């Protein structure tokens, strides 16, 4: 019998596996794909860096591009605003990375394996029963018993879809169409790599991301609240943008993909002997690139909560993960509050393109953009919470 069975080898699952191995627990991780595998979500945030340090992973400069902040552009009005992580509230972590996810996710998974987690790739979870007596998981290759089950299955949200506890977050992005560009001109690569910033272009009915990658490619995608997304939307949107037309002139577009219905919350994310982390618990919307960070932090909090329970034999307590739920709800509320306002187009001007905003608001906004969401001195975050007309 294993101490912990984890399903999903993305950033949430591999982080949980590494930390639980560091604590000395036996860990088995089931992943249906063979790594390295493609995954969308290449822009990371400063709040990841302390987690990387804890995991003992380093991101080599040859594979990861340093990212200093984010640039927001409205080509219709000519407005532009750049936010640098270094300008956040005190003790800011001044940068993050742009990462090709196939390489990044593989790095994190291999780290957990290096520390002794038993990794089963190309094996799919079919069913799992968690109750006070224990965990029994059945895959397409075998049956496993464990003291605790962690659902880190990302958008597949294994437990939530089985229990029908997926609650779509209405009003946020619903579909994305995206691709990579290779063969960018050297002067364009130099321009994009200077700050490594993500560029977010604001559209009438959505937005576009432009993420430069260390190998010279550019990740680009369109997000809208309309699910009718296809390659034509991508082509028309890009053709209508002078900035994208200039940056991608002469480049080759590859791997166009569509993903839909990604913004949801799992209304039952923990119980007797189980917990859901990362996207399997909640995914807000990609606009501020918070998905990987919230996956890492949920895994970290879960592992720190589970460790003493495994030591004391109290892991079957159905309320064990209430502190983790509360911790994550605070983060989701802050980041989600900003995302909600982003989609209220009349508020974008007051927030992102505000002329001379009070310094403490500007710094507070940058701290949220950096996913520094659990501090007590952010008056901008307090204001977001107090004036929020929405709840997740």
Ligand X SMILES: Cc1cc2nc3c(=O)[nH]c(=O)nc-3n(C[C@H](O)[C@H](O)[C@H](O)COP(=O)(O)OP(=O)(O)OC[C@H]3O[C@@H](n4cnc5c(N)ncnc54)[C@H](O)[C@@H]3O)c2cc1C
Q: Residues in the site for ligand X, rule: CB under 6 A? A: 7-13, 30-33, 39-44, 124-125, 152-156, 158, 176, 221, 259, 262, 278-280, 283, 286, 289-293, 295
Q: Chain-centre distance of CA 140, in angstroms?
A: 28
CA-nearest of 125, 145, 201, 156 to 1 is 145
Q: Burial level of 358, CB count in 10 A (0-12/13-18/19+)?
A: exposed
> CB-wise, 198 or 352, nearer to ligand X?
198
Cβ of residue 65: shortest distance to ligand X, in angstroms? Answer: 13
Paired with 220 in beta bridges are: 179, 210
Q: Which residue has the tokens 């742009």?
A: 98
> CB-wise, 184 or 280, nearer to ligand X?
280
Cβ of residue 85: shortest distance to ligand X, in angstroms? Answer: 14
> CB-wise, 30 or 352, nearer to ligand X?
30
> CB-wise, 291 or 336, nearer to ligand X?
291
What is residue 225's DSSP assignment?
A: S
Report the C-alpha gap between 357 and 122 in whole angstroms: 51
Report the C-alpha gap between 205 and 207 in whole angstroms: 7
Cβ of residue 341: shortest distance to ligand X, in angstroms? Answer: 19
CA-nearest of 136, 135, 140 to 122 is 140
Q: Are 375 and 366 a contacting pair, CB within 8 Å?
A: no
> CB-wise, 271 or 286, nearer to ligand X?
286
Structure tokens at 128: 């799992």
Q: Which residue has the tokens 């509360």?
A: 326
- The count of C-alpha atoms lying within 13 angstroms of the C-alpha of 323, restricted to the half-sphere facing its C-beta, is 10
Cβ of residue 124: shortest distance to ligand X, in angstroms? Answer: 4
- The count of C-alpha atoms lying within 13 angstroms of the C-alpha of 236, restricted to the half-sphere facing its C-beta, is 6
> CB-wise, 71 or 383, nearer to ligand X?
71
Cβ of residue 199: shortest distance to ligand X, in angstroms? Answer: 12
What would the DSSP string read from start to end of 117-145? -EEE-S--EEEEEEETTEEEEEESS-EEE
> CB-wise, 188 or 213, nearer to ligand X?
213
> CB-wise, 145 or 350, nearer to ligand X?
145
* Exposure b/e, 315-331, CB count within 10 A at least 16 = b: bbeeebbeebbebbbeb
> CB-wise, 17 or 384, nearer to ligand X?
17
Q: Are 101 and 64 a contacting pair, CB within 8 Å?
A: no
Angle between helices 291-312 and 48-55 (to 10 degrees): 50
CA-to-CA dists, residue 335 to 28, 55, 138, 155, 219, angstroms? 32, 24, 36, 19, 23
């Amino acid at each position: 019998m294993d101490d912990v069975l984890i399903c999903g080898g993305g950033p949430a699952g591999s982080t949980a596996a590494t930390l639980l191995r560091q604590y000395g627990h036996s860990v088995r991780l089931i992943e249906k794909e063979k790594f390295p595998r493609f995954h969308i979500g290449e822009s990371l945030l400063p709040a990841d860096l302390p987690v990387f340090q804890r995991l003992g992973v380093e991101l080599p400069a040859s594979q990861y591009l340093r990212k200093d902040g984010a640039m927001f552009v409205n080509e219709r009005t000519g407005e532009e605003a750049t936010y640098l992580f270094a300008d956040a509230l005190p003790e800011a972590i001044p940068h993050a990375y742009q990462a090709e996810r196939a390489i990044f996710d593989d790095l994190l998974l291999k780290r957990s394996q290096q520390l002794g987690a038993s990794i089963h790739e190309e094996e799919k979870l079919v069913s799992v029963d968690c109750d006070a007596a224990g965990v029994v998981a059945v895959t397409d290759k075998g049956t496993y018993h464990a003291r605790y089950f962690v659902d880190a299955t990302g958008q597949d949200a294994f437990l939530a879809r089985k229990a029908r506890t997926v609650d779509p977050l209405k009003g946020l992005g619903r579909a994305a169409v995206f691709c990579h560009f290779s063969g960018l001109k050297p002067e364009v690569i130099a321009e994009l790599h200077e700050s490594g910033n993500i560029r977010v272009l604001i559209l009438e009915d959505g937005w576009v991301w432009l993420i430069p990658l260390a190998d010279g490619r550019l990740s680009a995608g369109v997000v809208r609240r309309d699910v009718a997304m296809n390659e034509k939307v991508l082509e028309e949107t890009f053709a209508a943008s002078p900035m994208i037309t200039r940056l991608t002139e002469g480049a080759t577009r590859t791997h166009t993909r569509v993903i839909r219905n990604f913004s949801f919350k799992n209304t039952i994310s923990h119980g007797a002997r189980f917990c859901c982390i990362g996207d399997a618990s909640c995914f807000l919307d990609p606009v501020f690139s918070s998905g990987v960070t919230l996956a890492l932090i949920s895994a970290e909090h879960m592992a720190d909560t589970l460790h003493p329970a495994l030591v004391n034999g109290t892991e079957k307590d159905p309320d064990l993960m209430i502190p983790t739920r509360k911790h994550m709800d605070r983060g989701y509320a802050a980041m989600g509050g900003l995302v909600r306002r982003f989609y209220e187009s009349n508020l974008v001007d007051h927030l992102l393109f505000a002329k001379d905003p009070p310094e403490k608001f500007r710094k507070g906004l940058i701290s949220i953009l950096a996913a520094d969401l659990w501090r007590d001195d952010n008056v901008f975050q307090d204001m977001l919470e107090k004036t929020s007309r929405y709840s997740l």
